Amino acid sequence: MGATEPAQDERTMATLAHVLQVVAWWIAPLIIFLVKRESKFVSFHALQALFLQIAYIVVMAGFMVLWFSTIFLTILHGANHSNTQPPVAIFLMFPLIWLGFMGVWIVTLVIAIVYGVKAGRGEWAEYPVLGPLARRILKIGPGGVALPS
């Protein structure tokens, strides 16, 4: 039993799931995933976009923990020492953390555009790590073929 070619409506919704995550974060892929559950193609692409946004939030939370720990450790270090020079950690860590924020955002933007274009072409393209997870959850194989229960 082979997979059928996705309809134009399905390709459009899958593309929107990828592209709208740039401006609507996890909300747009979640809504598209819930509304278009009957379409394996749209569900697969929307679930991948949703997983990418969850990973994005986890990585950004890690950067925020690093940011706040740098601030608090700098304050503690300054309270123990009476020299008036500004702490070096502020000047080293904040630009690195900012570059991390921007780098993760740019990678997410590029992934959203590339896979949005692939979804628009009707491809069952999967994200490197998150795609197989989405396939397992939806119980579909390559090309959207249903796996035996």
**pLDDT band at 84, cuts 50/70/90?**
low
User: Which range among 63-77, 100-114, 131-145 has the greatest average pLDDT?
Assistant: 100-114
Residue 50: what residue type? L
Residue 130: predicted pLDDT: 94
- Within 10 Å of residue 92's Cβ, how many Cβ atoms? 11
Within-domain flag for 3: no
Domain annotation covers residue 2: no
pLDDT value, residue 75: 79
> Is-above-0.85 flag for pTM?
yes
What is the count of structural domains for the chain? 1
pLDDT for res 3: 63
Domain that includes residue 21, residue range: 8-144
Measuring CA to CA, which residue among 139, 149, 138 is closest to residue 33?
Answer: 138
In a domain, 149, yes or no: no
